[in-house]
Amino acid sequence: MKEIKDIILAYGEAQQRGQQSALATVVHLDGSSYRRPGARMLVTEEGRMTGAISGGCLEGDALHKALMVMNQQRARLVTYDTGDEDDITLGVQLGCNGIIRILIEPIIPEKPFNPLELLKKINAKRQRAVLVTLFDADSMSRDQPGTRLLLEEDGNSVGEVDDPLLKTTLLEDAGKAMRIRQSLFKKYKTTSQSISAFIEYIPPAISLVIVGAGNDAQPVLGIADILGWEASVVDGRATHATAERFASACQVLVARPEKVLEQIPIDEQTVFVLMTHNYNYDLAMLRALLQTNAPYIGVLGPRNKLDLMLDEIQSGGTKLNREQLNRIYGPVGLDIGAETAGEIALSVIAEIKGVLMGKSGQSLRLKEEVIHPREETVMEEKRLN
């Protein structure tokens, strides 16, 4: 979500300067690449680039093509083969061994459902969304339909798809992507033509609630801010929980434990780290959080502290099940030998990311398979008639 927010901000600035812009989006990938489908880059007519579609190797060529797209006001699909030693476009073999398809679309402000307007709608609400982008991989010279449809978690859909049957099918598949929380790639075939679709599942940004406003909470907030997470800081001490000390936080709350959850909505992307260094405050927060669906509850401190807290909760008459216990991470963080506040913050943030992605946090060199399973980008064919 951070990349989307940065692109929206850059687009607004370009509009204020009266400049044209184009959006480059990775819509499909065969093999491996530094960036996955859904990576985006905004290009303005003066050559400013926001976001990234690769590790830096494709941006230069994509910039030139984006300028052509702005001039022609026509979307274009570009394919890069990063494993081809003879690819004169790239000049050198990059070693990624992937075929990357990038759709570059002109942003036409007069169109109510242009890609940036759809991204703005996604950013405006904290909810899951599915964005549908259409492209023709078989005929890159043909006009590319581009980003056309948005399905929101509340069931609302907006966008323009001329073919009623195609639109119905797209909404059905977008609904499936929403249910399984995973992007899909489809090729829809008729007797006369075919069209491919990147049906992109976009979750809301991670919402991190840092319970504790000590000095060691500041690097946790700092790393979360770099990643584009929406972070809040909570503490019962008005002297510690101040906007001046935590300037990048979305909100800073001074509240008693029993009042905190009245002010913070919790969804599947909301995580908590208890680090007040106040046993009773952390205990009260843990007791309350165990009655929610928060997927991650980190508890700073030694294991015996957490064991004592759990014993106290259960001795008070609350029976904890395995599902509740599995959401508690204490001692919090990955085992990276962290000692300083900054290192501890790094280990905590890394563990949160791994948990939400369903990953172990082990060294990538220990993986026997590829980093990203190839089946994630398989293009499934589907006949419409």
Q: How far apart are CA 357 and CA 343, in angstroms?
A: 21
- Enumerate the domain spans of the chain: 2-202, 207-362
**pTM of the model as a whole:** 0.88
Q: How far apart are CA 14 and CA 3, in angstroms?
A: 16
> Which residues neighbour 225 within 8 Å (Cβ) at sequence distance 6 or greater?
231, 248
Q: How far apart are CA 198 and CA 382, in angstroms?
A: 14
Chain segment 38-90, per-residue pLDDT in tens: 999 999 999 999 999 887 788 889 999 999 999 999 999 999 887 655 554 55
β-strands 21-31, 98-106: how paired?
antiparallel
N-to-C CA span, the chain:
37
Q: How far apart are CA 147 and CA 132, in angstroms?
A: 6
Which helix (H) or strand (E) covers residue 90, if one does?
none
Instruction: Please answer whether residues 381 and 189 qualify as being in contact, where contact means their C-beta atoms are separated by less than 8 angstroms.
Output: yes
Map residue 353 onto helix, strand or coil.
helix
Class of domain 207-362 (CATH, top level): alpha beta
Q: What is the pLDDT of residue 377?
A: 77
Chain segment 182-212, per-residue pLDDT in tens: 999 999 987 778 899 999 999 999 999 999 9
